Amino acid sequence: MGQVIDKRYKIERKLGEGGMSFVYLGTDVATQKQFAIKVLSEALSQDTNAMARLRREASLGMRLAHPNVCHIVQLGETEDQLVYVVMPYVNGEILADRNNRLGRLPLTDTAKFVKDMSAGLSMAHGLKIVHRDLKPENVMICRGPNATEFAVVMDFGLAKERKAEGELQKLTATGIILGTPEFMSPEQLRGKPLDARTDIYSLALMTYEMLTGKLPFQGRTQQEMMIARLRSDPVSLRKMRPDANFPESVEKVLNKAMARSADDRYQTVLEYGEAFFSAAMGESSGGGVLGKLFGR
């Protein structure tokens, strides 16, 4: 605390920590603007392959300036050779905390947040950046100047423990689970090559959880739930929440986005976001709701 990194960012306080990093609130001493500064662990900072990948992705991540994305502002190194990532300071409520606090979210709120996340992810996908770790912990619900809420996707391009993906192929043989992969796509669980459609699947799982408070695949253990994702169909949305009277079109959109095969899903995240928003709001999916909103 109190240190100035790169003669620019004064460390104010710790915001949080994880297995691979610490996150601090920092103030630009020249502009007084606040940033979130993620200082990577010594082990990760000294991992040559991880750092090479991080630098490649950071160069793209710096181009991710979008209202619904917390992008990378700068990648640097402290005097004691710890790598740090500077991002805009996003103040709000983590989506995971919102889900836990309320249990489940209204359909209209869910549709708005899905629209926001789809817009941010679409820009990233246009730059060939796949998030690969979409989950409620990586989304912040913020409040704008007019008191309206919007969603911001965080943690792009930080190469967080992605080496765990290949090890997931051994799941059924060893029963060992690395991390908390509740929102990973089937192809990610199998360690297959990933493209933007893996984010669509993860976003659909998050959508389902926002609406029901639960995930669409059942099991007594996390391992059973992961195997169910590889072999079984999701529990019907309207069966999980019979009291909610969700439109059939909402369930149809979700089922397509949660298809086990990436080829059977929506092929772009904007296509999914538009279809879900239209179904939730009772509009024709051919109307191009997101296209109108984003000037397409």
Q: 195 an active-site residue?
A: no
Work out the burial of residue 107: count CB atoms within 10 Å of its CB; fewer than 13 is exposed, 13-18 middle, 19 or more buried.
buried
- The one catalytic residue among 47, 116, 133, 199: 133
Tokens, residue 120 = 């941010």
Tokens, residue 93 = 């409520």
Identify whether the C-beta of residue 135 lies closer than 8 Å to the C-beta of residue 183.
yes
Radius of gyration of the chain (CA): 19
Q: What is the full DSSP assignment across the chain?
A: ---EETTTEEEEEEEEE-SSEEEEEEEETTT--EEEEEEEPHHHHT-HHHHHHHHHHHHHHTT--BTTB----EEEE-TTS-EEEEEE---SEEHHHHHHHHSS--HHHHHHHHHHHHHHHHHHHHTT-------GGGEEEEE-TTS-EEEEE---S--TTTTHHHHGGGHHHH----S--TT--HHHHTT----HHHHHHHHHHHHHHHHHSS-SS--SSHHHHHHHHHHSPPPPHHHH-TTS---HHHHHHHHHHT-SSGGGS-SSHHHHHHHHHHHHHT--GGG-HHHHHTT-
Catalytic machinery residues: 133
